[in-house]
Structure formats: structure tokens, C-alpha cells
Amino acid sequence: MAQTKAQLVVGLNVNASAPASALQIDASGNVNLDSNTLYVDATNNRVGVGISSPGNPLEVVGAIETSGSSNAVLFAGSSSTPTIGAGIHKPADDSLAIVTGSTERLRIDSSGRVGIGTSTVDGNVHIADGTRANLILKKTGLNDVTNSSLHTAYDVIQLGAGGSLASYNVETATADTHVGHNFYRHSGGNFRYKYTDAAARIRFNSTQGAIIFDRAAEGTANTDVTFSESMRIDSSGRLGIGTTSPSQKLHVVGQALFNNGSDFYINAASEVARFDSSGRLLVGTSSVDSINTHQPALYVKGDTYSKSTVGITSTSNNSEGSYLFFAKSRNSSGTPTVLASGDIIGHIRFSSYDGSDWDSFAGSIECIVDGTPGINDMPGRLVFSTTLDGASSPTERMRITNSGDVLINAITSYGKLTVVGATSNNTANAFNVFDSTGVALLTVRNDGRIVTGTSTSSPYNLTTASAANVHCDSNGILYRSTSSLKYKKNVADSQFGLQELLALRPVTYQSKSEADGETTYGGLIAEEVHNAGLSEFVQYAEDGSPDALAYGNMVSLCIKAIQEQQAMIVELQAKVAALESA
């Protein structure tokens, strides 16, 4: 054997001038080149670079560099996980694994998929952990939450400063997933702030099949978070805001504001309502018509009476009904000021399309301040107006004043009911009262004529045997005639009698009134009675001229004349009797 080895050394053609230690081959066949630059352990079939006792088939102390156009480190054959502290090995064909602590930590399989913490790679990147998975994606210098601070029930992805995705890591009916900002599930079980700021999250809840949106006010880093629910989409697809149990597709509890500069629609089978970009609520239409030059804030339009009807219904179990309020101030709602007399508080207009536009209206009802208002003092009147045929704007027809007086075709009150006729002649009536069959009960014509009609209980048909007792004076005022002493004063015997009676001229005549036609009447002439000095029996007009006679009162004149005649008869009878007895 010595001779053979000696012959091998000679065959290497070692330079005689080279150091004795440049190449050494010992009796066991171990080769040491340049003091362990390369060492071949012939006994254990191992090669060491920079080491004389390699523990593996190839052991290198220092860095390994490859160069050239085909530089690579190739692994030919599979091996089990090495029991060394750290290393790279080929666990299967076309796969590569990294080992630390004698445990495989990362694997790239034959499809290029990366597995961390697992040797069975199911995705492009697959991270697994026996307790919880925690993937951190962040810029250097940002805080993160370590595994020891995280609850073991959730697998987590931490993203950037505060983003996170946490999902329950046990497949149960109560499993949920959280997507949010600035919170984490602490190992103690509570949710905590990641850093000092507000927090928010979206929960995908498998128990209720809901998507829940939560928020939390600003809090201090690593202190407990108290979330409040803001919104949810339930398992039926209903969106609830301010409620945990929505009953409609959109269920809002509290105030809602739509302010995106464009229209907001409400659709059933087709559009039924919208809030337009000007804040107007349109029902049954997508655009608003100009009515009397106004574009209303609430506009209902329909092609049937039902679709164009607005209803207000109260179902409260008390005496209260429904309300419709019209309110007015002379300043903004923030600092309202008192109104002035004549200000319109509310206005209802009845408009129609006239073939050109909606600016004409047939009638209106207004409530107007009717006096000087003050604290707890708001006098008002209601004004009712209609538009005459051929006109384009209405005229006031009736008003109810602040004292409850009703004025028809009038603006000045003369009592609880004031009616002003359209004219002062006999062409129309100012006031009419009819029964249910259309029979006139009372008519007042514009020229003052009053008709009480001929119904069963009219004055015409309610007859009596008593004397007439109604008197109409020169002002048109009706009085009841009386004769009792209790209605008289300064009573004295009449000085007029037969002489004055004989001075009167009884006449027959026909009336100038159309109502009398050609009927001939008997009577006296008021002027002649006046000229006879009998003014007590004459009724005078406003200008003082004789106008009528109190025929009923002239009975006293006749009685006085009869008495005087009777006295004369008695005297004559006595004289006749004396002559006959002579």
C-alpha cells in the first residue's frame, strides 16, 4: 500500500519547489489542499471547503459564489428534513425547502407556490401556523402587533399603519371575519387600539348571515375599544342604518341626508319618487312643473285621482285629529321675527293648465294677519277668492275677519254677516235663501226689494185675523206697530175731527209699481193730508217731503169726526123732539 501511495504522489507531478504543505495525502487517503482550502474526507466520503472535519457530504465555511452564464446550485435527488440547525434542501422533485431548528419553515413546490409553516401548499402563497397565522405587510418603522399579543382564535393580516383582516380560525357556526382599521384582538380577548386614533371595522357574521359596519371614537394605543354598530346588511339583503333589525330594503332610524349634487330615486316596478338636486321631493314624476311661477318643494303628480291625492290620517286613540300647518316668520328660522298686519301666513291656490302653462289659477284661500300682532296675539282673517270667466287672476269674494264677521263681496264689516251686491239696480239679487227643492224663502235684490216667498210657512201663508203691525220707515227699517199705553207718552185728546176730515179728498188711483200692474186702489194723497195740517198721520221721506200715510192711525181722526157728528145728531134729535111736542 505504501508503494502504491508513493507512486500516486509521484504521479501528481508535485513541484519540488512547492511548500511541503501545499498538498497532503495521508495514509487513510484523506486529501488536504492548501491548509483546508479543500479537504476530502476519504473515510466518511465528505468534502470540506475551509474546514478539515466536514459533517456533511459537502460543508463550506464562508460564502459560496457561482459565476458564468449557467451559474446555479443544483439539487439532484430528494431528502428528508435535515436535523441540522438551518439549511436548504430538496424535499421532493423540483421543490426547495428552508429549514431552521431542524424544522421546515418555507417551501417552494414544483409549481412555484410558496408555503410558510406548511409542506402542503394550496395557494400561490400559503401561510399556516399551529396557533394563529399573522402576516404583516408594512413600511419599515410602522408599529405592528406581535404573535404573543394576538388572540389565538383569529388568523390575521396586518397592512400598513392600521389596516387589518382577521378571521376566526375554527370552522364553527359562530365564525366571523373582521376587516378594519386601527384595532386588533388582544390575547386577553378584548379588542384594542393599535395606535391612538379612531377605529372602524366591517364584520362578516356567519351566525346571522349579516354584514355589520362598526365604528369607535378615538382611543389610546393598546387600550380597549368599544365599537358601536352604524349599519348592517342582513341575511335578506336589507340595509339597516341605526337599527339591528331592518324590516325593509332600506331601513333608517334617525335622520338621513342625501347630498351628492344629483337626484335620489325611489323605485318600485318603476320610479315612484325622487329627491332632485335642488332638494325637492317629487312623487309620480321626474321633473317639476312651474305653477304660478313657483317650483314647489313638494310636488305630487299622477295620471289618476288616486296617484294625485295627498292624505293625512291619524289613528291615535284620543280626540286629536290630523294637522296641516302653515307657518310664517319675517326672518330666518334661526332668528324669526314677528309679522306685520297684512302679511300672508298661508296661501292655497287652485291652478290648472290653460293650454299654455300652469300660471293661471281659478281660486285661492289665504290666511292674512288682520291687525297688529304681538306675543300670544296673532289676529287673522281668511280670504276666499275666485276667478271670473275671462279673467286670469282671482278676485276676493268672501272673508272672515279676526272677530268672526263674515263679509261677502265686501271688505268693511257692518255686522256678523255683511253682503254687498254686485250692483245697485234690480238686475240681480244680493242675497238668496232657498229650501232643499229650490224654492225661494228669502230674497234681497240689489235695489232693496225683499221677497219672503210663498212657501207653506212664509209670511204670506201664515195668515192672522189681527191687525197689521209691521211698519217700514223711510230708511227701510221694519218696526212692529204697537198701541198699548206702555209704549206711549204725552197722551192728549186729539184736536182734529170732522172739520179736518171733511177737508180731505178721497181718491182712486193706480200704482206706478210694476208689481201692482193695472189694479185700481182707493186712498188719500199724502201731500193733501199734510196741507190739511194733519202731519201726525203723514210719514216723510229723508228730504222731508210727504211720502206715506199711517192709515191705521187715521182711525182716531174718523172716530173723532163720528163723535162730533153724533153730538150734532143728538142735538138735532132734541130739537126735533121739542118741535114735535109743541
pLDDT, one tens digit per residue, over 503-534 is 999 999 999 988 788 999 999 999 999 999 99
Q: Enter the C-alpha cell of residue 342.
A: 297684512
Number of domains in the chain: 5
Nearest alpha-carbon partner for 239 in 253, 251, 228, 229: 251
* Mean per-residue pLDDT over the chain, rounded: 87
Judgement on whether residues 165 and 244 belong to the same structural domain of the protein: yes
46 within some domain: yes
Distance (Å, whole) CA 11 – CA 450: 162
Range in 59-68, 94-103, 209-218, 330-339 the model is least confident about:
59-68
Judgement on whether residues 495 and 564 belong to the same structural domain of the protein: yes
pLDDT for position 101: 85
Q: Enter the C-alpha cell of residue 237.
A: 339583503
Q: Using the 3D structure, point to which of 203, 221, 256 is the last residue of a domain.
A: 256
Distance (Å, whole) CA 453 – CA 438: 11
pLDDT for position 10: 37
500 within some domain: yes
> pLDDT tier at 72 (50, 70, 90 boundaries)?
low
> pLDDT tier at 542 (50, 70, 90 boundaries)?
confident
323: pLDDT strictly greater than 50: yes
Judgement on whether residues 144 and 218 belong to the same structural domain of the protein: yes
Distance (Å, whole) CA 342 – CA 323: 24
Judgement on whether residues 191 and 147 belong to the same structural domain of the protein: yes
409 vs 479 pLDDT, higher one: 409
pLDDT for position 468: 72
pLDDT for position 404: 96
| Per-residue pLDDT tens over the stretch 6-33 | 434 433 444 444 455 578 888 888 888 8
| Per-residue pLDDT tens over the stretch 226-258 | 999 999 999 999 999 999 999 998 899 987 776
pLDDT for position 3: 43
320 within some domain: no
Q: Using the 3D structure, point to which of 111, 128, 145 is the last residue of a domain.
A: 128
541 vs 205 pLDDT, higher one: 541
77: pLDDT strictly greater than 90: no
Range in 229-238, 317-326, 330-339, 394-403 the model is least confident about:
330-339
Judgement on whether residues 562 and 509 belong to the same structural domain of the protein: yes
302: pLDDT strictly greater than 50: yes
Judgement on whether residues 152 and 170 belong to the same structural domain of the protein: yes
346 within some domain: yes
| Per-residue pLDDT tens over the stretch 194-203 | 999 999 999 9
92 within some domain: yes
388 within some domain: yes
573: pLDDT strictly greater than 80: yes
Judgement on whether residues 192 and 251 belong to the same structural domain of the protein: yes
423: pLDDT strictly greater than 70: yes
Structural domain that includes position 538: 490-582
- The burial of 188, by beta-carbon neighbours within 10 Å (0-12 exposed, 13-18 middle, 19 or more buried), is given as exposed
Judgement on whether residues 144 and 245 belong to the same structural domain of the protein: yes
| Per-residue pLDDT tens over the stretch 348-407 | 999 988 888 888 889 999 999 999 999 999 999 999 999 999 988 899 999 999 999 999
Specify the pairing of strand 344-351 against strand 361-369.
antiparallel
Which residues fall within 8 angstroms of residue 78, CB to CB, at 6 or more apart?
90, 91, 92, 93
5: pLDDT strictly greater than 70: no
pLDDT for position 170: 86
Q: What percent of the chain has pLDDT over 90?
A: 46
Judgement on whether residues 506 and 409 belong to the same structural domain of the protein: no
242 within some domain: yes
Judgement on whether residues 160 and 247 belong to the same structural domain of the protein: yes
Judgement on whether residues 147 and 34 belong to the same structural domain of the protein: no
Provide mean pLDDT across the span 115-123: 89
Contact 450, 442 (CB under 8 A): yes
Q: Which helix (H) or strand (E) holds 554?
A: none
Q: Supply the DSSP string of 382-437, one letter for each residue.
A: EEEEEPPTT-SS-EEEEEE-TT--EEES-SS-SSSEEE--S-SSTTSEEEEEE-TT
Q: Using the 3D structure, point to which of 235, 256, 277 is the last residue of a domain.
A: 256
pTM assigned to the model: 0.53
pLDDT for position 85: 72
477 within some domain: no
Judgement on whether residues 249 and 137 belong to the same structural domain of the protein: yes
SS (H, E, C) 463-477: CCCCCCCEEECCCCC
